[in-house]
Chains A and B, each alone.
Chain A
Amino acid sequence: MAAYLLRRFLQAVVAIFGVMTLIFFVQRLTGDPTYLLVPETATKADIEAMRVSLGLDRPLIVQYLSFLWGILHLDFGRSYVQNVPVMTIIAARLPYTLELTAGALAVAALIGVPLGIATAMWRGRSQARGLMGFVLAAQSMPTFWSGILMMMVFGVWLGWLPPSGAGGWKNLIMPSVALGLLSMATFARVARTAVLDELSKDYIRSARARGVSTGRLVRRHLLRNASIPVISISAMEISQLLAGAVIVETVFAWPGLGLLTIQSITGRDFMVVQTIVLLGAFVTITLNFLADLLYTVVDPRIRLTGTPG
């Protein structure tokens, strides 16, 4: 088990290292990254000065090493557009994205898990088919469409909720639902499979034979045993939600990291874009690692050897 965890940890480290390398080379897809960093109005002399000040006249390998070195010291560089450290800009926006992600996760889990349990318990009945249809529809709904529709209905026509922007908790409702609906399907599927797995086991049948009520059965047995896959899928879904936030935040003008990404692209603030993508990748890799870890720690039935299949 320890060997597996160590191996898994090393894999994560290699992945993080690989992502940094990948981003470094993406920067150079067009050849000279200086053009990504200077304003459109820059003169030839400006560009040359910029190139030297960025150290882009050094050999590629030196640039690469100093890029890695900076990140290892949590130095993500400066924004050349706003002339402040990138981390300052990001830190100001991070809380909004965290709020949105938490809200969406809550929506996804609180609707998705009961849906999954219900479709498993009612398997083969028409209610279950109806609910599965709903799940499938929600999964195929682009967030930017469901978001705009909600904005139209609840924001403009009914006037119940503020249509966009940040402010009180009411502003958080629509973005969370729009973002959460997509993950809801994943939760429903995972919960459904987990419950179906449990339902087929002997202890459930003997519990039923003892006359345990359905409600008690769900609460005492099914929820507990189905919780492991659900918890581990939520770790993985968080990274999906962070990525989805780019679009949802743009729809609702929610001032988090997603909107910042788009604003930085339009403002040609490449350093910010690059840092957000790096952070997104780090979070994803870490969460996937934690999800695996969780599996091994929470569920003693899972025995792992040094060589996972």
Chain B
Amino acid sequence: MSATIDKSPAPARRFAGLRREIRGMRAVMPFVLIFAAFVLLALLAPLVAPLDPNSQNLLGRLKPPGTTARGIFYLLGTDNLGRDLLSRLIYGARISLSVAILSVVLSGTAGTILGMAAGLARGWTETVIMRLADIVLSVPAVLLAIIMVAVLGPGFANVVLVLALTRWPRYARVAYGQTLSVANMPYVRLARFMGAKTPRILLIHILPNIIGAIIVVATLEFGLMVLFEAGLSFLGLGVQPPTPSWGAMLSTGRAYVATAWWIAAFPGACLFLLILSVNLIGDHLRDRLDPKSR
């Protein structure tokens, strides 16, 4: 019998690694749960929201949390049109999350493809794509988003589009850098030598090697997208009324800051919790996947 070298770690050590992993997760676990709760609320909004988010009760306007007006109980109070704040918050999670997810997916896909193309093709493709990325990044993102919305007009689809157009360079830069470091590896050159076409090389040989870095960027960008959507809606440039958006609710709350604190306080708290949990999960992922950035 030939002596085989057992390369798998001893069981005890393997469990030590697992334990360390779980201990590492424990710190972010509450935030994973918070994030999951928001996702669930958004998915199940019609089931969990006590009332229609847009139904007005003009006699029950600006009621503080915990009041009953005309036989309806308002746990978190009502806004300036007598709409149930809790229901609007729950439906608002839909807007925040869907804008963030769609814009991250759109900008992530576009940026990754462009970045990989630049890294693999080099030459003028590289120059055009990467210089364009530099230029887009040199305009403060908020300002670029604002001018684009000013041109295109507000609304759900335009907000997603604008966010994707302003944020793709982030992914392009990472994808480009990572592709450069992988593109000259012997196995990639071999694949090309064997006649693999460019799309196949990008998809099968390069993408799996850079996807970790892209995911880290995407999680960190996710919180920013939630913030941007809320910011644009706060300024009246985002999702339009009566669709409930946390940013727009905060803008209403600002107008009633002296008389109805709850209108601004609750949506802001939701935004804060969502962004905080996403940021912490993102930080954690970065530390896990990219030990250099510690």
Footprint of B on A, CB under 8 Å? 11, 14-15, 18-19, 21-23, 26-27, 29-30, 36, 136-137, 139-142, 144-145, 148-149, 151-152, 155-156, 163, 239-240, 242-244, 246-247, 250-251, 261-262, 265-266, 270, 273-274, 276-277, 280-281, 284-285, 288
**A140 CB contact (under 8 Å) in B148, B237, B247, B275:** B275
Closest chain-A Cβ to B75's Cβ sits at a distance in Å of 20
Q: Does B268 contact A (CB under 8 A)?
A: yes
**Closest B residue, CB atoms, query A242:** B140
**A145 CB contact (under 8 Å) in B147, B150, B250, B258:** B250
Asked if B247 and A144 make an inter-chain contact with CB atoms under 8 angstroms apart, the answer reads: yes
Asked if B151 and A27 make an inter-chain contact with CB atoms under 8 angstroms apart, the answer reads: yes
Asked if B131 and A14 make an inter-chain contact with CB atoms under 8 angstroms apart, the answer reads: yes
CA distance A47 to B151 in the complex (A): 17
* Complex contacts, A156 vs chain B, CB 8 Å: 257-258
Asked if B136 and A15 make an inter-chain contact with CB atoms under 8 angstroms apart, the answer reads: no
Q: Does B280 contact A (CB under 8 A)?
A: yes
CA distance A277 to B139 in the complex (A): 8
24 contacts between A and B (CB under 8 A): A14-B131, A21-B135, A22-B136, A30-B152, A137-B272, A141-B272, A142-B227, A142-B250, A142-B268, A142-B275, A144-B231, A144-B251, A145-B250, A145-B264, A148-B264, A148-B268, A239-B140, A243-B143, A246-B142, A247-B142, A265-B146, A280-B143, A285-B138, A288-B138
With A140-B279, A144-B234, A148-B268 already in contact, 16 other A-B pairs whose C-beta atoms are closer than 8 Å: A22-B135, A27-B151, A29-B148, A136-B276, A140-B275, A142-B227, A144-B250, A155-B257, A246-B143, A262-B235, A273-B150, A277-B146, A281-B139, A284-B138, A284-B140, A285-B138
Main secondary structure of the interface of A (DSSP, over half): helix
* Complex contacts, B131 vs chain A, CB 8 Å: 14, 18
Asked if A23 and B147 make an inter-chain contact with CB atoms under 8 angstroms apart, the answer reads: yes
Instruction: Tally chain B residues at the interface, Cβ within 8 Å.
Output: 45
Interface string of B256-270 (1 = CB under 8 A from A): 011001001100110
Asked if A139 and B279 make an inter-chain contact with CB atoms under 8 angstroms apart, the answer reads: yes
**A142 CB contact (under 8 Å) in B230, B236, B265:** B230
Asked if B276 and A246 make an inter-chain contact with CB atoms under 8 angstroms apart, the answer reads: no
CA distance A262 to B151 in the complex (A): 13
Asked if A145 and B143 make an inter-chain contact with CB atoms under 8 angstroms apart, the answer reads: no
* Complex contacts, A152 vs chain B, CB 8 Å: 257, 261, 264-265
CA distance A144 to B246 in the complex (A): 11
Q: Does B223 contact A (CB under 8 A)?
A: yes
Asked if B135 and A15 make an inter-chain contact with CB atoms under 8 angstroms apart, the answer reads: yes
CA distance A142 to B270 in the complex (A): 11
Q: Does B132 contact A (CB under 8 A)?
A: yes
**B254 CB contact (under 8 Å) in A136, A140, A148, A285:** A148
Asked if B140 and A29 make an inter-chain contact with CB atoms under 8 angstroms apart, the answer reads: no
Closest chain-A Cβ to B103's Cβ sits at a distance in Å of 17
Closest chain-B Cβ to A137's Cβ sits at a distance in Å of 7
* Complex contacts, A15 vs chain B, CB 8 Å: 134-135, 138
Asked if A145 and B272 make an inter-chain contact with CB atoms under 8 angstroms apart, the answer reads: yes
* In the complex with contacts A18-B131, A148-B268, A246-B148 CB distance below 8 A: no
Q: Does B101 contact A (CB under 8 A)?
A: no
* Complex contacts, B272 vs chain A, CB 8 Å: 137, 140-142, 145
**Closest B residue, CB atoms, query A239:** B140
Q: Does B106 contact A (CB under 8 A)?
A: no
Q: Does B29 contact A (CB under 8 A)?
A: no
Asked if B268 and A265 make an inter-chain contact with CB atoms under 8 angstroms apart, the answer reads: no
* Complex contacts, B144 vs chain A, CB 8 Å: 277
Q: Does B253 contact A (CB under 8 A)?
A: yes
**A36 CB contact (under 8 Å) in B149, B151, B254:** B151
* Complex contacts, B254 vs chain A, CB 8 Å: 144, 148, 151, 251
Closest chain-A Cβ to B149's Cβ sits at a distance in Å of 8
CA distance A22 to B141 in the complex (A): 13
* Complex contacts, B85 vs chain A, CB 8 Å: none
* Complex contacts, A21 vs chain B, CB 8 Å: 135
Asked if B138 and A148 make an inter-chain contact with CB atoms under 8 angstroms apart, the answer reads: no
CA distance A136 to B132 in the complex (A): 32
Closest chain-A Cβ to B212's Cβ sits at a distance in Å of 22
* Complex contacts, B227 vs chain A, CB 8 Å: 142
Asked if A26 and B234 make an inter-chain contact with CB atoms under 8 angstroms apart, the answer reads: no
* Complex contacts, A247 vs chain B, CB 8 Å: 142, 231, 234-235
* In the complex with contacts A19-B138, A140-B276, A30-B151 CB distance below 8 A: yes
CA distance A22 to B147 in the complex (A): 11
Closest chain-A Cβ to B73's Cβ sits at a distance in Å of 25
* In the complex with contacts A137-B276, A265-B237, A22-B139 CB distance below 8 A: yes
Asked if A246 and B268 make an inter-chain contact with CB atoms under 8 angstroms apart, the answer reads: no
* Complex contacts, B236 vs chain A, CB 8 Å: 262, 266
Asked if A265 and B265 make an inter-chain contact with CB atoms under 8 angstroms apart, the answer reads: no
Closest chain-B Cβ to A82's Cβ sits at a distance in Å of 17
CA distance A159 to B253 in the complex (A): 19
Q: Does B271 contact A (CB under 8 A)?
A: yes
Asked if B147 and A142 make an inter-chain contact with CB atoms under 8 angstroms apart, the answer reads: no
CA distance A50 to B234 in the complex (A): 32
CA distance A163 to B255 in the complex (A): 12
Interfacial residues of chain B within 74-114, with CB under 8 A of chain A in the complex: none
